Amino acid sequence: MHGTVLASIDGRVARITLNRPSVLNAQNMELMEDLEAAVDLVAGYPAVRVVIVSGAGRAFSAGLDLDMREQGVALEFFERQERTRVRLETLDASQLPLSADRETRRSKIGNEPSAR
């Protein structure tokens, strides 16, 4: 890891912090590699039920690091970004038992109240 993302787990809560405050947490390849590694780390803790993603300093993220634009942004960056986003969004559902029915899964992950 490059140190551009911090991750910690405290019981059922995981915290992932983008850590490039000097450039408003602008996303470059190193940050995307670290973010993917942080999501992989969280995925290894099935007890985690909440993931808080934040940015160090005064901004969550300014978006693409403009220095990357000058160098030419590799397709790998966008593939990694999309893969990590999808993995993070589906993390809750993937950690529920596969045998759970749809209603149980929804009520556990908070998508909608259980209809009775």
3-state secondary structure of 18: strand
pTM comes to: 0.75
52 domain residue, yes or no: yes
pLDDT of residue 67: 85
Cα gap 13→50, rounded to integer Å: 5
How many whole angstroms from its chain centre is CA 65?
Answer: 18
Contact partners, residue 34, CB within 8 Å, separation at least 6: 1, 2, 3, 4, 5
Could you give phi then psi for residue 7, rounded to 5 degrees?
-140, 140
Instruction: Report the domain count for the chain.
Output: 1
pLDDT of residue 95: 52
24 domain residue, yes or no: yes
User: What is the per-residue pLDDT across 43-67, written as a single tens digit (0 to 9) for each?
Assistant: 999 899 899 999 999 999 999 888 8
116 domain residue, yes or no: no
Domain that holds residue 88: 5-109
Percentage of residues of the chain with pLDDT beyond 90:
53
115 domain residue, yes or no: no
CATH assignment of the domain containing 53: 3.90.226.10
